Structure formats: structure tokens, C-alpha cells
Structure 1
Amino acid sequence: MSSRSLVERSPRARDERVVSGTRTDIQALRAVAVSLVLVYHLWPNRLTGGFTGVDVFFVISGFLITSHLLGRPPRTGRDLAGFWSRRIRRLLPASLLVLAVTLVASRLVAPETQWAATAKQAGAAALYVVNWLLASDAVDYLAAENAPSPVQHFWSLSVEEQFYIGWPLLILVLVALASRLRRSPTAVVALGLGAVVAASFAYSVHETVTEPARAYFVTPTRVWELGVGGLLAVLVGRHGFGRGRSVEAVAWSATARVVLAWAGLAAIVWTGFAYTGATPFPGWQAAVPVLGAAAVIAANAPAATGSPAGMMALRPVQWLGDVSYSVYLWHWPIIVLLPYATGSALGTLDKLAILASSLVLAGLTKRYVEDRFRAPEWGRPLRKPYLLGVAGMAVVVAMAAVQLAEVDRKEAEARDALAAAVATDDPCFGAAALTPGSDCPRTTEGPVVPAPAQALKDKSDAYEEVSGGKDCWSSAPRFPMTVCEFGDPEAETSIALAGNSHAGQWLPALQEIARTRGWRITTYLASQCALAETDQEFDATAKTERCSSWGRRVTRRLVSEGYDMVVYTNRISVPAVGKDIAGSQDAYRRGYESVLATVRSSGVPVTVIRDTPASGDMIPDCLAANDGDLTRCSGSRSEWEPAEPVVDAVSDLDDRGIVLADLNDRICRPDRCDGAVGGVVVYFDRSHLTATYARTLAPALEGPLRKALARG
């Protein structure tokens, strides 16, 4: 949105507006905002709260858009069409260009494991709904571990575009209401916008407390930030409602405005250094950068002693503000894709190159794309921008669809290859390669099965399927009681599988055994929440309480349902309250002991599976990028194998009805853990076993299970 101020020409010229000059303070504020984001993405440890630059952009957009709308209030559908056509010409050409280039670049340099996610997000970004897709992934524990896509920064642009659709409609309704009630349109609009801002702020605070991962992306939690800018436009642009509004400053002395401008800038910069990824956001914490940005705009810093106006008016600052939109568009795809192109993590020179290339591309895009499409001839006739916008969106969506079609084709080929590999009965296939006494070669190069892109989806039925129309996972924030059944429903032997996501990964192995033994398997699984009498510190207090409640209810069911055996395992992914992961071991040991002792009090035997090793990297991505040297996707066993307090819990209880199954020797060699073993991809993400590899562990798991049953 242009930051050029609009002034009233005459009382009769209701629809005429002229440019009186550039709001250098707003251009400078844009420069500050994009600098915060850019530095944060390149050096996140240096500017831990730089993400607040997006919130500054929201306030600016809300202010300028509302100023335009109040200067020429929409009264008819044609008014709205004209407003939206200007938005299309301003925003879509550059954003669609970046999306198209990013899709091509991703296909060329990113591993094939990234193609599908990038295509889906690019298609959603072209339609300006990607923030909702990211919100869904953010609350999906497994999807949350995916590598960042090169277009995920479009979430904020999606929020703005959705705002641009709804906000004019709201103002149109409020203006019409003021006319019907014969009230001041300024008062009615201010009250209406204020009500929306208050409701959105309240929802943002609530959602940030209850589901912060989702709250970060969804539109309702962010509308108030843009709305604050809109309210500011009503308050400081009081003159000539509907006659070309004058964008003014607060009616304070020059000294007071200078102080206000500095205070606003200080608040913004302070959040850049003081906030971190652990700061609950947006919620009320977003009010600091939002009000800081509003203060700078309201002050419209005058040219007075000690004013930041001189610094703001510097040519480099103004230029950066002018190209800030394109800088925002270009910088993130380069950050994400460059490591794939170079084969190494970003170094200082890489980051400086990204900084320079982002500025160069932004300058070119501003001149040859943004400015060109804002020319009046691209807006006439009125349908022209809409036709071009739809065509551009269709091109990007079609490119994404083509990419997804290629992924589907490759997955079909990978499924055939996997079926053929399984059918060979290779004695060195998967975990069998690590059988004591075997002489199987180490898997050091591809191809592997499932193919890395397919491995992302090669998950236990507990993750992917539903049983009886029910989701098999108990998830935050409510953690309901969720039960699924697998295997023979008429089986005489009934097994319960209980724990969090690292319990779910063992279902394929249990299903293999159940098919030959005639067992029925009932699952009690939760996302992240470990089945332990331990208070686990989630990102919201309500989640902690409900996780504990879920654990108590599941433990009672394990005791009361008459199972022949319970299979029990967890991953510690959430620290105990008041602790970090390393300091939570003793709390979990006691929590595991409590659950195991309660289950054993009913006479039910328990097989406890030691937790599996975990890599710090996305294994399928690594394998896809290093097909010729898969050893680059390995790590020290001492680093991958987690501390496991359940081992101590079993030892402390010293109960022969509890059998410990430690299968990590069938996942790792004595000193190293690999991303692929026996030609099979071990993990579908950083820590969860692929269904294929889990099935190859069935022979090793069957012994401990039969031992536990015999002791029941």
C-alpha cells in the first residue's frame, strides 16, 4: 500500500485525491520492519524477536488501507471493485512472480521430499489461504517437524489479503448504517471498527494461551493488529470524511510528537531483542510492537530538534522502505533453497550474499513489476486487473498441480519398488541386516526403499488411518479418550498398545505378529503427551492439565479392560513442569513407575519397549539430497540414543511381569546410527520409524512379547 498522504482538494471534490508528498516516517517504518524480519531470518540468534517486523507491517497496512477507504468510503459494488482492482495491481504481480520462480527453483535444487509440500503451499499462497494450511500443520505434531518450505512466509500476505477483502465490506456496512441512523459516519465507523479490534484481540489472547501454534497463523488472531492501524486512521484523519481524508498526526506539540515517535521506535526495536521463539505470540505480547508502530505513525515525526525525522528521511532508508514488499517476497526462498544448491549450511558469506541478492532482486522487481502494473492503463477497463489476476493465479496453481502430479507418479513407482523388495525375502532386508552374526553390508548409497519422498508417508496405521470412523489419536488441546482396534476382532488374545507417538510407531510390527498369532490390538495413543504420572509442561497450562487427565483415564482403562498384555513406550518430547528435558529424567522415571505399578496391580503383564534413537535432521530429506553417500545421514549412537528413564523404572520395580524390550541394536550399529539400514529408510521424519522398517523389527519384538504373555 502506498504511503503517500491524501489531502482534500475542495468540499465539492468528493472523489478526487492528490498526492501531497511521501510519508517518510511510514516508509522508514517499513524499512525498520523488513530489516527486523531479514536479520531475524539470517541471524536468528542475534535478533531473536525480529518476527515482530510482520506486526509492524500489519499496522501500516491497516492504517493506509483505512485512510483510503475513509477518504472515499465504498457505497456501491463498483466502489469495492475499484478498491480491490488497485490491490490486485499492487500486490499480485510481484507475489505471483516470486511464487512461480520459487516453484521452478525448488524443483531444480530442493530434494524431491520437499516438492509436494512446496507445491501445496505455493498453490495455497497463490490463492492467499496458505496461513490456514500452515496453521493446520502447526498443530499436527508430525507435520510440525517438516522442513520449512520456501513459501511459508506468504502466511502474512494471506492474512493481509483476507483483511483487504473483509475490511472494505465492513466499512461499507458501517457507512450505510450511519446513513440509516442519521449518525456521524466517523463515530459509527470508529465504534464498529473498535468492536472488531476488541473481539479479535480477545480471541488472540485466548487462542495464544490455548493453542499458540495455531494462533500464530490464523486470521482472526491477527485482524486486531491491522485494525489498530485502521482505528488510528479514523482518529488522526478527522477532517472531511468522504472528501479525500487528510492523513495527519496527533494534535500534540512538536516536542510531544518527537517523544512519541522515539518511544514507538524504541518499543519496536526492544521487541526485536527481547522477544524469542518462546514468547507466547501473538496474544497481548503483540501489543508492544503494534502500539509502537501506531505511535510512530500517529506522531508523524516533525522536523524538530532531536526528532528522528531526519534519520527517517535518509535516501537509503526511504529506498529500503520503498522496496520492502519485494525484499520480503524474495529473501525467504533464497534462504531456504541456497543450502540445497550448495550442499552445506549457510555461512557468513552466504548470508551476506542472500542479503545483497534480496536487495538487488527487490529493486528490479519494484521497478519492472510493481511500478509497471500500478500504472493507470493496467486498471482500465475495471475487469482487466481481475482477469490478469485470475490468470496469474491459475498459472501458479497449474504449476503446483504439475509438480504434485510428478510426485504422485514417482510415488507410484516407489510403491512398486517397495513391493518388489519386500517380496524377495532378502535376509539382509531392513532390521535383519543387524541380526547378530549376519554378514550384511552397510547401506551406503541409494536406491533405498521406500524412496525418500514416499518415506515421508510410510507411517503406521495409527498415524494414517482411522478405525471404525474414529481418529486414533488423542491430541491437544483437549486430549480426549480415543481408542482404536486393529487385528482380529474375534481374537482370544487382546493386546493394548499405550503411549505417545513413539508407541504408535510400533503398531506395524505388532500387526505383523498379530496376523500370525491371532491377536487383537487396542491402541491408547496421544500426540506428544507421554503416558506417565508426570506433569508435562506444554505451551499452555490447559494442555498440561488435560494431558495428565488423559494419562489417568488411560491407566484406569488398562487396568479395567482385562487385556492379556500391555505394550508400553513413550518419547520424552515435553519437559516436566519447571524443568528442561535433561532435568526431567527423574520426574519421568517416577511417573513411569507409577503407571507400570498401577497396571501390574491388576495382574496384567507389560512389555516395555525402550525408546528408539532419534536424529536431529529430517532423514528422508537427507537421504534424498545424498543418494550417492548415505553415510552423511548417520550419527553417533551416543548422540542419537535418548536418555531413557523407563529402563531405570523397570529395574526399580523389579517385577518379573514387566519385560523390557530393547531393540535399538536392530536399529543402530554399536557406534553409529544410519538413516537407512538393510536398504530400508529407518525414519519418516527425525525420530519416528517408517512402517516398513517397523515391520522388519517384528521378529525381534515377538520374543519379548511372548515372554511377557507367558508370565501373565
Structure 2
Amino acid sequence: MERSEGVRADIQGLRAVAVGVVLVYHVAPSLLPGGFVGVDAFFVISGFLITSHLLAHPPATGRDLATFWSRRIRRLLPASVLVLATTLVASRLIAPDTAWDNTARQARAAGLYVVNWLLAHDAVDYLAAENKPTPVQHFWSLSVEEQFYAVWPILILLLVAAARRTRLPPMLLVTTGLGVVVAASLTYSIVETATDPAAAYFITPTRIWELGIGGLVALACAPRVLGRPDAVRTPPRPIALALGWAGIAAIALSVVTYSGSTPFPGWQALLPVLGTAAVIAAHPTRTSTSTRTGTGTDPLGRLLALRPVQWLGDVSYSVYLWHWPLVVLLPYLSGGTLGNLDRLVIIVTTLVLAALTKRFVEDPFRRPGWARPLRRPYLLGATLMALVVLLASAQSLEVDHRQHLAQQQLAAALATAGPCFGAAALTPGRTCPTTTYDHIVPAPADAPDDKSDAYADVGGKNCWAYTPTFPEQHCVFGDADATTRIALVGNSHAGQWLPALQALAKAHHWRIDTFLASRCASADVRQVLDTDQHSSACESWVRRTVAAVTAAKPDLVVMTNRISVPAAGHTLSDSGAAYRQGYAQVMKAWADAGLRVLALHDTPAPGQQIPDCVATHSDDTSACDGKPSDWIPDDPVTDAVRDVASPRVRSADLDDHICSATVCRAVTGGVITYFDGSHLTATYARTLAPYLDVAMQRLLRG
């Protein structure tokens, strides 16, 4: 989102278009479902402006590079740090404490311009991907640009130096070098988007080509490039007019036809990227004022040059910075959803803050006085980045302190658990008092980490098979030398039962072997995951797991899954029959091998982040409760057990120990029931152990 030395009205107009569609997309996604492509337009614009500047005055020394980077510091850091610092403070005051740690973590990464890599890591983590967006998440695109600014001038310096050394034409060598980078990045983007789309959206290698396309346009059109005469190169007027309108049409088409389900970036990003490049190459505001042809004006150029459009382009950087924190934080004050009045407040407040930031922050730091001496911008940048890191770290320390106290409270609650603790509170005829917010365990901010030991961040082990290949992961819990062995098989809704099994293993001296995969259900059916490669890997994992469990010969297989993706050829809502058949095939294979199988009915799923809801409604946590008919899923596993018709295969439904006949509670017996939108907390799962024990003993004892 860089700004050029000499302002081109068409580029300012493009900036206005880009930030406008992003703003509308974030406040009202249904209006412009593909509005996220505005970021891609910004990438092209930045690539064009930066490359134009670098090739007009190619860097030849380390000082040249330092001067270039100092300009980026002055122009970009002050405003971004202002927004980051303000957002951290506002989040602490407005957002529930469940959001503090993730916001601080991402703000720290944003202050160091690496948050895109953190988001990529979280995106491929099934559980982390379900986290609510933080108010600093939009800094991912700024991180991509800053990383581009760090590498691109070095590449150009090397290419220009190579041209001088080899006496090859600089234009040829630079064009070839940049073209190779663009082609390599585009190829990688297409491949990575097809194989790992969650991470591909954020990482820098899949995005460099978009900025590079802008660089190639600069090579073709910008003035003073590598000694070219001081004049903008544009196509003949009729071609320029067609090119400009075609570019705007391409951007508009992607904005209205793309959506969150469009694999992106990949080849789909070519439409908005090439559309933006076409408008820049056409330079419509120049053709509209041309007097040499005498053929009139270009309406596109006139539109882009309108004063309101130019003003929005001028403040576009600050608009981008400010709008997203407002989108995320305002619902905490307005009741959880954005109404039309909220949307209007966001837009107006964003424009006001952007105008003030442009006037009092962006412009003053861009004045030449801040450029001398050369070390001054670097001291400024280091100070500003350190400020964000310190603020974020202070927030993380507070979260750590609260977690320590919450863990002590949880330990005390577990040690004194009575007849109304957790699932026991649902015992028919039992009357239990309501637990006040301060005595709920685990504390809402601690609940997202109250997961089973199958997760690496809790138990020190990684027991999950993940995309893209679903490699075999086998973990052992309980008594490794026990004579009674239990196999736990399924996806994350099987993993949530591990704490209950561990409690039983401790009591009965059992060994627990886990065969777990993220999202992939243990059913012999083609499951439609993010890519065909992921679906094929899931199929392979199911078949390999069936064979591995059969070879292990456990005394009992405990199997359960969440159906979160459709079966091939079906929608999610009508996939039940396909999963029923797939479950039956798996369980029949184990029964034929002489194994006993207990299939657990899938647990209720709220569909909302329960810890966040509880923290937000601390005065009345019942606001987070739901109806059994809404939360309890249709699970074909019980029908599949009947289809197998073997005395070795039985089903059990323990949902009546999670929901009563009339309500599913977010807090049951003083325990937060879920650590996210569908998975049981480890604490609550442990309270289900006695009921699971009954179902298991029936099969173990024949």
C-alpha cells in the first residue's frame, strides 16, 4: 500500500476502489462476496510503485538500500504502530479476556511484520482455525508487503549489477530476472492453493507474484526506468481505453463472483491482479486529458479522478488500518452482531480516524526532515516496533498470571469435586446450585487450552494425523504394560474422550492406544476435504488405520467422529447414508477380525465459541445455552451398528450426560462444557468417565 513520489490520479482512484471493496466486504460480506480481492489490487499497485522508484534510481550500494528502507519506515510504521497500540488497549478494555492472548500474540507478530506466517500456521491447525478473528488479523497483507520490500530492492540491485558486469542489456536482464520470480511464485501459488489452501492464503511465496506483476508493468510503462526518457509509456488511445475498462471489469467480476469458498490465491487471483495491472498500464486519467488526439475524454479516467475518489485514495492506507479493529471490537459493545447502524458507525468512524491519521501521523513523518540523519528513521522504527512488542508482551504476562490462578482454582475444584460437579449435575432428580462466574472452572480464558493430552501444546505429544498427507501417528497413554488394551479411533471428537479414558485407565490399569486424525472421520467413504489430495489422503488413512488396529488386536475399540465435511456426491445434510455405510464397513472389518467395538454417538455441538460467550455473558451464562434439538447432531453411527448386526459391536449414547431433556448448557455443574464451538473441555470429559465406564465394561466383560 505504498505511495509514489509523484501522485498518479488513476492509481489514487484504484486505491480508493481497492479499499472501498475491502471495507464493504468486511462490514457487509453479502454485498460484495469477493471484496477481499481489494488486497490483491493493493499488491499490484505497491509492486508497480516500488519497482518504478527502484528502477528510476537503481540501488548500487548498501547505503542506497538503507535509504530506500528508511523511506518505507517513515511512511508505513508510524500509522501502523498507532493502530496496533490503540487496538491492544481497546481490546483489553472491550473484548472478553478469552480474546486477550490471541490478540496479543498476533499484535506482537504484526509489529514485527511476520503475522502472515503465524496466521498460516493457525489456519492449518483445525482447532486454531476455529478461533474468532482478532482485531489485528488484517495486518497479514502489510506483513507480505514489508517482506517484499525487504527482498525486492536487493534482487534489483543484484540484477542491475549483473548487467553491468556481463555488459548485457539491463532491461533484458532485469525483465528476465523479475519474470522468473513472478513465474516461480505464480506456479507455487497455484500448486500450494490446490494442496494446502488454508496456509496458501497467507504465506509470502504465494503472493510475491502479485506484487511482481506490478513490477513488470513498471518495466513496461513507468518513466525513467533504467535510463528510459522521462515520460509515461501508454498504449495507443483506443487500446488504452479498452484496456482500462477491461481491467475495471475484471476487478468488478471478481468482486461479485468470488466468495470465501473460492480457492485463493492460485490462478483465480489472476483476474483481479491482471485487471489492476491493465488499469495501471492504460493510465486512464492521462488518456482522458490528452490533447494530442482531440478525440474526447475517457469516462473511466474522469471517474477515477473525481475529488471524493481521490480523497479516499489519499487516506486508503489509514482506512485499511482502522476499519478492521472496529469491525471486530464493535460487536462486543453492540450485542454480538452488526446491524445497519453499526455498519454506518464503522464506516464513518473509519473515515474520520483515517483523515486524522493521514493529517497528523502519515504526512508529518513523510517530510524530509525525518530522513536525516539516516539512522533517525531506523531508531524511530526500532522504538515503535519495541513499543508494540512490549504492550503485547505485557498483555500476555497478564494472561499468564490469570491462567496460573485459574489452574490453581481448577486443581482445587477437582480435588473437592462433589455430587454436582460437571456431568454429575445432570443426574436425574438431583438439585444443584448455580455456580457463579468467578467459580466456573476452567476459567473462560483458560478453557481453550483445556484440551486432551493428544494435543502437542498440552501433553508434549502430537498424536494427530493432519493434512496434507495424514501420516500415521500413534500414541500410548495409561499403563503401557497393561494386559487390557483400548484403541481410541476417530477424528477430533474421538480425541476429546481421551481424558475420560485416561481416568479409567488409571483406575483399571488399562493401556490406551490412539489412532486420531484431524477432521477425517474413520469411515470408509470419500470425504470432501479442502482438496482432492486431502480427500485421497483421508481415505488412505482410514484404510491404513483399520489394518493397524486389526493388527494391534486391542481388547476394545472405542470409535467416534464428528461429521464436518460432506461425502463425495452429497451435501453435508444428506451425507448420512454414505457415512452409515462407511462406518459399517469399518466396524464389520474389526468384528470379522474378532475385535470388540464400542461406537459412541457424536456429542452435541453448540456452533459458537463457548468460552468467548461465557466471558461475554458473565452475568448470565445461560445466554450461551442451547436446545438439544439444535446442538445434538444426527449421527448415523447407531444405525451402522445395527447394520453390522454383530454381538461384538455396540453403540452408546452419552449425550444425556451433556444435555438435559430441555437444555444443553455452556456451563454444567460449574464446568465449562466446551473449549471451543464443539469440543468438550478435558475437565468436563473427565466427569463423563463413570458413564463411559459402564458402556465399556459391558463389552469388555462379554
Same fold, TM exceeding 0.5? Answer: yes
For the pair 1:522 / 2:513, whether they are aligned, the reply is yes
Partner Cα distance (1:218, 1:637) in 2: 41
* Shift in alpha-carbon separation, 1:342–1:702, aligned structure 2, 3 A: same
Kindly report which structure 2 residues correspond to 1:227-626, keeping only aligned pairs within 5 A, or say none.
Answer: 227-237=212-222, 239=224, 241-242=226-227, 246=230, 248-250=232-234, 252-301=235-284, 302-303=287-288, 304-443=296-435, 445-464=437-456, 471-626=462-617
How many correspondences in the alignment?
693
Kindly report which structure 2 residues correspond to 1:641-660, keeping only aligned pairs within 5 A, or say none.
Answer: 641-660=632-651
* Shift in alpha-carbon separation, 1:239–1:410, aligned structure 2, 3 A: closer
1:442 CA displacement:
4.9
| Partners of 2:627 and 2:663 within 8 A in 1 | yes
1:439 CA displacement:
1.9
Q: Aligned to 1:462, what secondary structure does the other structure show?
A: coil
Partner Cα distance (2:4, 2:570) in 1: 52
| Partners of 2:500 and 2:686 within 8 A in 1 | yes
Partner Cα distance (1:120, 1:2) in 2: 26
Q: Residue type of the partner of 1:208?
A: T
Q: Deviations over 1:494-518 (max 9, x none)?
A: 1100000000000000000000101
Q: Deviations over 1:131-168 (max 9, x none)?
A: 00000000000000001000000000000000000000
Question: Which residue does 1:680 correspond to in 2?
Answer: 671
1:656 CA displacement:
2.1
**Could you say what the CA RMSD is over the residues aligned between the two structures, in angstroms?**
1.4
Q: Deviations over 1:617-654 (max 9, x none)?
A: 10000011111100011111101111101011112223
Q: Deviations over 1:411-430 (max 9, x none)?
A: 00000111111111311000
| Partners of 1:3 and 1:23 within 8 A in 2 | no
Kindly report which structure 2 residues correspond to 1:51-130, keeping only aligned pairs within 5 A, or say none.
Answer: 51-130=36-115
What percentage of residue pairs aligned between the two structures are identical?
59
Partner Cα distance (2:188, 2:594) in 1: 48
| Partners of 2:9 and 2:304 within 8 A in 1 | yes
Question: Which residue does 2:662 correspond to in 1?
Answer: 671
Q: Residue type of the partner of 1:102?
A: T
Q: Deviations over 1:567-614 (max 9, x none)?
A: 000000111113221011111000001001001111111111110000
Partner Cα distance (1:116, 1:445) in 2: 20
Q: Aligned to 1:583, what secondary structure does the other structure show?
A: coil
Partner Cα distance (1:413, 1:111) in 2: 17
1:466 CA displacement:
8.4
Q: Deviations over 1:327-379 (max 9, x none)?
A: 00000000100111233311000001100000000000001000010001011
* Shift in alpha-carbon separation, 1:482–1:413, aligned structure 2, 3 A: same
* Shift in alpha-carbon separation, 1:705–1:240, aligned structure 2, 3 A: closer
Question: Which residue does 2:291 correspond to in 1?
Answer: none
| Partners of 2:4 and 2:50 within 8 A in 1 | no
Q: Aligned to 2:388, what secondary structure does the other structure show?
A: helix
Gaps of 5+ in 1: 6-18
Residue from 3, 21, 24 that aligns with 1:39: 24
Question: Which residue does 2:136 correspond to in 1?
Answer: 151
1:173 CA displacement:
0.5
Kindly report which structure 2 residues correspond to 1:17-32, keeping only aligned pairs within 5 A, or say none.
Answer: 19=6, 22-32=7-17
| Partners of 2:116 and 2:141 within 8 A in 1 | yes
1:246 CA displacement:
4.0
* Shift in alpha-carbon separation, 1:29–1:591, aligned structure 2, 3 A: same
Question: Which residue does 2:292 correspond to in 1?
Answer: none
1:240 CA displacement:
5.5
Q: Aligned to 1:635, what secondary structure does the other structure show?
A: coil
Q: Aligned to 2:477, what secondary structure does the other structure show?
A: strand
* Shift in alpha-carbon separation, 1:247–1:266, aligned structure 2, 3 A: farther
Partner Cα distance (2:53, 2:180) in 1: 21
TM-score by length of 1: 0.96
| Partners of 1:193 and 1:231 within 8 A in 2 | yes
Structure 1: 4+ residue segments shifted above 6 A: none
Partner Cα distance (2:617, 2:417) in 1: 27
For the pair 1:163 / 2:148, whether they are aligned, the reply is yes
1:445 CA displacement:
4.7
Partner Cα distance (1:490, 1:445) in 2: 42
Q: Residue type of the partner of 2:447?
A: A
Q: Residue type of the partner of 2:253?
A: W
Partner Cα distance (1:572, 1:315) in 2: 53
Q: Residue type of the partner of 2:509?
A: G
Q: Aligned to 1:461, what secondary structure does the other structure show?
A: coil
* Shift in alpha-carbon separation, 1:4–1:524, aligned structure 2, 3 A: closer
Q: Deviations over 1:261-307 (max 9, x none)?
A: 01100100110000011111000000000000000000001114443
TM-score by length of 2: 0.97
